[in-house]
Amino acid sequence: MKRVFTILLLMIVLFAFNSCRKEHDKTFVEAADILKQKIKGASEENIIKRRERELKMLADPVTGKIPANIRSRELKFAESLPKSANNNFGNFQSIGPDNFGGRTRALAIDVTNENVMLAGGVSGGIWRTEDGGQNWTKVTSPGQLLPITSIVQDTRPGKTHLWYAGTGELLGNSASSPGGYNDYRGDGILKSEDGGITWDTLSSTFSGTPQTGDNFDFVWRVVTDPSAPDSLDVVLAAVANGIYRSENGGQSWTKVIGANQSTGWYTDIAVTSSGVFYAAVSSSTNIVNGTATVKGIFRSEDGLNWVDITPSNWLSAQLRTVIGIDPNNENTVYFLIDSWTYGGNGKVTYDFQGNPEWNSLWKYEYISGDGSGAGGNWTDLSQNIPVGPYDFDDFYTQLGYDMCVAVQPGNSNVVFIGGTNLYRSTDGFTTPDNIRLIGGYPENIYLSQYLDEPLYPNHHPDQHVILFSPSNPNVMYNCNDGGVFRTDNVLADTVQWTPLNNHYVTTQFYTIAIDHGMPDSKIVIGGLQDNGTMFTDAHLSPSWTMSMPFDGSYCAIEDGANVFYASAQNGKIAKLSLDSDGNITAFRRIDPIGGDNYDFINPFVIDPVDNNVMYLSAGTNLWRNDSLYSIALTNEWDSISQGWFKFSSTTNGNISAFGVTYTGSHTLYIGTSNGQIYKILNANTGDPQFININNGIDGAGYISSIAVDPRDDNKILVVYSNYNVHSLHYSEDGGLTWGRVGGNLEAPSAPPGYPDFLYNISDAPSCRYAKILPAGDSTIYLVGTSVGLFATYHLYPGNDRESDSTTWYQQGWETIGNAVVTMIDTREDDGFTAVATHGNGVFVSNLRAYFDITKSEELAESQIEIYPNPVKDRLFVKAPQKFNAILYDVNGKVVKNINSNDLPADVSDLKPNLYFMAVQQESRTFVYKIIKI
């Protein structure tokens, strides 16, 4: 790492230190990456703010909730949407990141071959490896992009081809309270009958009743019964209202623990090798401030009949609990419990900012009978949960977000617990003396101290899964928010980890930016959840570099890619100089002194005509900096006043989106979190007024994007991201009048005259981002949604469903699929387009090569004949006059120039693929598809 980045990190550390509970001498030492964990250390606050933001963006404005079962419904809706024929809107390809993983809650090892593993990203689908994690292949289809939370194999002989996966993440992507609904609701339980290679949803786990939450929307864990006879396939699922059991491989289910709304919302289940089950059910329900009547710890010897074994001195508030069975003595079971911020439950622990939560660790030993009362012995080990003395030493679960517990095979004294960090005890947590931090954040550091790495070396915070190699109990696999990791000696004094994220493309992007100043540039940066701001030059490699830490946020690239802008959560912005690998060589924090009320992922934008100007949202206030060029990279990290101006006007609702014109008029459009749209003329100078241009627009909710036509300042496309609203609105007169253009993205077509109020938009996806891309004489309109990327050549604005006849076509359905598209960036010069997804990384294409294809009737007029097509070696062109031609590959790259004197053209050196040939005659250009065989 560079020395200057070192100083940056330390400055932020000191800035944050004032809010810590522990006071230590602060020594100003170089710390190459300490920032990456310091700001991330406030993660429990980040999770709350993340949920609040998602609820604002996605909730139905009428109910205040994200609609029940919306993921299943919108995926079903998407099946009816047309796909772009022959990929003529663009051939989108993944550019990684291939070397970073995203949040992973599920991992399983095949009992027949431990080199075969299956992992699940919470918004990235199921992935499979056959070489122990050296390479991964996605085995769910692009249309099955589901939040995977649990994966299990039926381990009985003759049944090992059967696998099950639970979907739906309640903690991590959910709304701000148990009463909210989650954009990453699941689609029930998936099943594979071919060793995890292909997957289908069990129809029994999807009720098809959108009016109420489905029982299998949030699946915490799935287990099978290893003791079941061959005639039965027994599966049990811990879901967000109880425990369900099936005897027929998931064809039908019986609820064995729970009573609807009075059942705990957080559940877990585990099973011994002999078929004894343990389950945990929280005291918190899906009703805000509700208390469950069915709660506690349960035991069953058949998975059907359950006994409450909760001890009399149990916790008064039990929220999320995870279970770990001792494989050496399966009568011993550990329960790790989070009670959030309820005082008096377990042991209080703190994050580095001094925020408390209460956690507990209990050990249960079965003695006799049904295991209740005197039939079981309970030991409270909570007081031995790790605390201090250093700032990152405390065990912390971030409101139950990251939790796991396990016992090492072969040694019952070695017990592991995971929260933000991973800990090992060699005496079963019977004392606080033999505990070691072995992953997550670095051990033994104060905020002001030096560390060569920002995190525990080759590891990542926020632990979710612990597994051991069947052949070597010292080999541990661990999943967290950074993907999948392995250590070959978990008992080492200092545990060494190896990331297993090769081609495991599961990262979650919030934002994306490309260089608009250099045609053919493939430099891309993006802000990611949990993984900072990353950089890549896709010309060179699908590997990425983390250029700046934190939760990544909005970002931008100055034309020419000499200066970069990156931001962290809550409005912290840095101006950066990067080397060719994306490493920081110089920096300066630049957000304004006095700025406040920033959103968690806070918008800013660079004026595309004058990169010296930035506009920044700060709640209802707008700030402008008109001196970006003159801000020196002094390697300091504090807010500045240089160049900043705060507009006197304010907005009704927090500013949530910007659109800036491209023609030099410096008109700025602003969208707000409550659906208001403003227009500011000459926004780059003075203190102009904000002009409200809603003008009767039929829109409500959160504005997530405003796209401006680069060729016409008055043509703007506004995106409302909430569910159950009309999402897309278009104006051709600068906001004087508006028309809906959601078209088939909002409801299917119907006969003329069909009443507008009968159209059902409740199953329609959430639209997130829009771009308008000129392409020759045409215009491409792009929209990112919660079910993928869509495009059209033509918008047909209307005031009702009949007149709004816009047809959107899905793009990259075989690559992007139904991934949640969070942002799009485009470059007019060559059509380069980057698409950010929340769960499957980034995809790119050069759209211009596709959109300039000449219509067939115009080709006939040209009297140009190209043959043979398909072609193998030589290509002939017959034309009525001299011409020049350019041959492009599918990415828009020029591969051959051809003119009238070069015929026949030798194409033998080209690889078999689709190509595009642009033939220019006088003032006209005709574009043909050429297939090389």
SS (H, E, C) 611-643: CCCEEEEECCEEEEECCHHHCCCCCCCCCECCC
Only one residue has tokens 């504090």, namely 638
Q: Output the six-digit token pair for 696.
A: 């009767």
Amino acid code (one letter) for 4: V
CATH code at 923? 2.60.40
Instruction: Based on DSSP, count helices (H) and strands (E) in the chain, helices before strands.
Output: 6, 64
Residues constituting the chain: 933
The answer to whether residue 528 scores a pLDDT higher than 80 is yes
pLDDT reported for residue 879: 87
pLDDT of residue 7: 34
Question: 598 pLDDT exceeds 50?
Answer: yes
Of 11 and 674, more confident: 674
Closest CA to 35 of 556, 445, 423: 445
Residue 856 has pLDDT above 60, yes or no: no
- 749: pLDDT confidence band, cut at 50, 70 and 90? low
Residue 631 has what pLDDT? 99
- Are residues 5 and 135 located together in one domain of the fold? no
Q: pLDDT confidence of 9, banded at 50, 70, 90?
A: very low
Nearest to 672 by CA among 696, 690, 648, 645: 690
- 565 pairs with which residues across the strands? 556, 575
Give, for 709, the enclosing helix (H) or strand (E): strand 703-709
Bridging pattern class, strands 483-487 and 809-811: unpaired
878: nearest Cα among 895, 856, 903: 903
Q: How much is the pTM?
A: 0.84
Band of pLDDT at residue 353, cut at 50, 70 and 90: confident
pLDDT number for residue 501: 96
Based on the fold, state whether residues 283 and 343 are members of the same structural domain: no
Whether residue 447 is found in the same domain as residue 335: yes
pLDDT at 16: 36
Give the pLDDT confidence score for residue 857 in this predicted structure: 57
Final residue in a domain of this structure, among 694, 717, 740: 694
Q: At residue 245, does pLDDT exceed 50?
A: yes
Q: Is the preceding peptide bond at 454 cis, omega within 30 degrees of 0?
A: no
Domain assignment of residue 774, yes or no: no
pLDDT of 189 above 70: yes
- Please report whether residue 781 resides in a domain: no
Distance CA 925, CA 849 (A): 13
Q: Does residue 751 have a cis peptide bond before it, meaning omega lies within 30 degrees of 0?
A: no
Alpha carbons 816 and 811: distance in angstroms, whole number: 8
**Quick check: is 734 in a domain?**
no
Number of Cβ within 10 Å of residue 857's Cβ equals 7
Read off the pLDDT of each residue in 668-683 and give the average, rounded to a whole number. 98
| Coil, helix or strand at residue 686 | coil
Do 693 and 710 contact (CB within 8 A), yes or no? no
Q: What is the arithmetic mean of pLDDT over 535-544?
A: 90
In a domain, 663, yes or no: yes
Q: What is the pLDDT of residues 131-159, one digit of tens each?
A: 999 999 999 988 776 789 999 999 999 99
Residue 251 has which token pair? 């064809």
For 891-917, what is each residue's pLDDT tens digit?
556 788 888 888 999 999 999 988 888
> Rounded mean pLDDT of 299-308?
98
What pLDDT, on a 0 to 100 scale, did the predictor assign at position 923? 62
- Predicted confidence band at 177 (pLDDT cuts at 50, 70, 90)? very low
What pLDDT is recorded for position 22?
34
Q: What percent of the chain has pLDDT over 70?
A: 86
Are residues 295 and 371 both part of a single domain? no
Angle at 149 between CA 147 and CA 153, to 5 degrees: 120
Q: What are phi and psi of 836, to 5 degrees?
A: -95, 135
Please indicate, yes or no, if residue 811 is contained in any of the structural domains: no
Q: Residue 644 is part of which domain span?
A: 513-694
DSSP for 192-239, written as a single string: ESSSSSS-EE-GGG----TTS--TTSSEEEEEE-TT--TT-B-EEEEE
CATH assignment at residue 621:
2.130.10.10
Across 578-587, 771-780, 818-827, 842-851, least confident range: 842-851
384 and 260 fall within a common domain: no
Same domain, 626 and 659: yes
Element (H, E) at 53: helix 43-58
Same domain, 463 and 314: yes
Least confident of 67-71, 220-224, 907-911: 67-71
Q: How confident is the model at residue 890 (pLDDT cuts 50, 70, 90)?
A: low
What is the per-residue pLDDT for 1? 34
Per residue in 28-41, pLDDT (tens digit) is: 223 223 333 333 33
Please compute, for residue 129, the number of CA atoms within 13 A of its CA located in the half-sphere on the CB side: 21
Using H for helix, E for strand and C for coil, what is the string for 77-127?
HHHCCCECHHHCCCCCEECCCCCCCCCEEEEEECCCCCCCEEEEECCCEEE
Largest Cα–Cα separation, the chain:
99
Edge-first strand listing for the sheet containing 277-281: 267-271, 277-281, 296-300, 306-308
- The residues pairing with 280 across neighbouring beta strands, listed in sequence order, are 268, 297
Cα angle value 457/458/460 (rounded, 5°): 95
Domain boundary pick from 263, 282, 308: 308
| Confidence check: pLDDT of 925 > 80 | no
The answer as to whether 751 is a domain residue is no
Q: Percentage of the chain with pLDDT > 90? A: 67
- For residues 414 and 523, membership in a common domain is answered with no
Note the pLDDT of residue 85.
Answer: 58
| Burial call 548-578: b when 16+ CB within 10 Å, e when fewer | bbbbbbbbbbbeebebbbbbbbbbbbbbbbb
Higher pLDDT, 353 or 531: 531
Total structural domains within the chain:
4
Q: What is the pLDDT of residue 848?
A: 65
Do 429 and 572 fall within a single domain? no
How many other CB atoms are there within 10 angstroms of residue 410's CB atom? 12
The model's confidence at residue 730, banded by pLDDT at 50, 70 and 90, is: very high
* d(C-alpha 406, C-alpha 416), whole Å: 5
Same domain (yes/no): 529, 430 = no
Strand partners for 546: 534
Reported confidence tier of residue 263, pLDDT bands at 50, 70, 90: confident
622-643: per-residue pLDDT in tens?
Answer: 999 999 999 999 999 999 999 9
Residues 203 and 116 in one domain: yes
For residues 417 and 326, give the distance between their C-alpha atoms in angstroms, rounded to a whole number. 13
* pLDDT of 287 above 70: no
The whole-number pLDDT of residue 490 equals: 99
Whether residues 254 and 313 share a domain: the answer is no
pLDDT of residue 895: 86
Q: What is the pLDDT of residues 410-457, one digit of tens each?
A: 999 999 999 999 999 999 999 999 999 999 988 887 755 534 456 899
Question: What per-residue confidence (pLDDT) applies to 208?
Answer: 46
Look up residue 176 and give its two tokens: 């701000």
Single residue among 287, 308, 329 that ends a domain in this structure: 308
Residue pair 234/252 in contact (Cβ under 8 Å)? The answer is: no
Exposure class string for 123-152: b at 16+ Cβ within 10 A, else e: bbbbbbbeebbeebebbbebbbbbbbbbbb
For the domain that residue 132 is a member of, what is the CATH number? Answer: 2.120.10.30
Domain for residue 39, yes or no? yes
Q: What is the pLDDT of residue 907?
A: 94
CB 534 within 8 A of CB 546: yes
Q: Is residue 321 part of a domain?
A: yes
For 685-721, what is each residue's pLDDT tens digit? Answer: 999 999 999 998 877 899 999 999 999 999 999 999 9
Task: Report d(CA 376, CA 373) in Å as an integer.
Answer: 6
